Amino acid sequence: MASPTQAADTIVSNLESLSKLLITTTTLQDWTLQTTQGRLFLSHLTLDFHMAFSTFTDTETNIFQFFENHRQKFAEHPWFTIEPVSVYTDIDLGTNLATVYLNISVAETPNSRVDGYMQFQWAREADAWKNGDEDHSLHWAGGPPWRCYKIHMMRGTPALFG
């Protein structure tokens, strides 16, 4: 079994890859947008996934399916696009909580861009272990698999980037 450090390094890599995948394969035009006087108020843009997977291959497949299922909704805001700038990942082995911060540049209107970041929050899915999940591909120390449970998009720069 991989050590906690080795497993953490692997999960960091996978989380960063998946975060980039989300950014490069679609735009946030897919999600419900809240506006203030016709402009996006990014601090209020939140998406709950509530999906659990045993491997990151499954995760990517299901993420693609999620976007495919919401294609019509996404098309309502064709001018809203984002570009990845840099990625920072933090994993807390004590709480089994992982967070990916992705710096982005956002086109709020066709002629205006703002800096912001996306925060991908991942946590252990405890119920999966109780339900007989024995796939250890994402486990360290025998814990349950990871679950992406929320994505936030916010203006500005998180303090972690300094």
pLDDT digits (tens, 9 = 90+) for 70-79: 445 444 444 4
pLDDT tens per residue, range 17-72: 544 444 443 333 333 333 333 333 333 333 333 333 333 334 444 444 544 554 45
Separation between Cα atoms, residue 113 and residue 58, nearest integer Å? 34
* DSSP bridge partners of 104: 84, 116
Q: Is residue 46 part of a domain?
A: yes
pLDDT, position 26: 37
| Residues 113-128 as b or e (16 or more Cβ within 10 Å = b) | eeebbbbbebbbbeeb
Does any domain span residue 131?
A: yes
Asked if residue 118 belongs to a domain, the reply is: yes
What digits encode the pLDDT tens for the residues 88-118? 555 555 555 555 555 555 555 556 555 666 5
Cα separation of 9 and 6, whole Å? 5
| Count of structural domains, the chain | 1
Let me know if residue 17 belongs to a domain: yes
Q: Does residue 148 come out as left (phi exceeding 0), alpha (psi in the -120 to 50 range) or beta?
A: beta
Residue 98 domain boundaries? 4-156
In a domain, 19, yes or no: yes
Phi-psi sector, 83: left (phi>0), alpha (psi -120 to 50), beta = beta
Instruction: Answer yes or no: is 161 within a domain.
Output: no
Q: Is residue 20 part of a domain?
A: yes
162, part of any domain: no
98/95 Cα distance (integer angstroms): 9
Do residues 113 and 11 touch, judged by C-beta distance below 8 A? no
What pTM was estimated for this model as a whole? 0.36
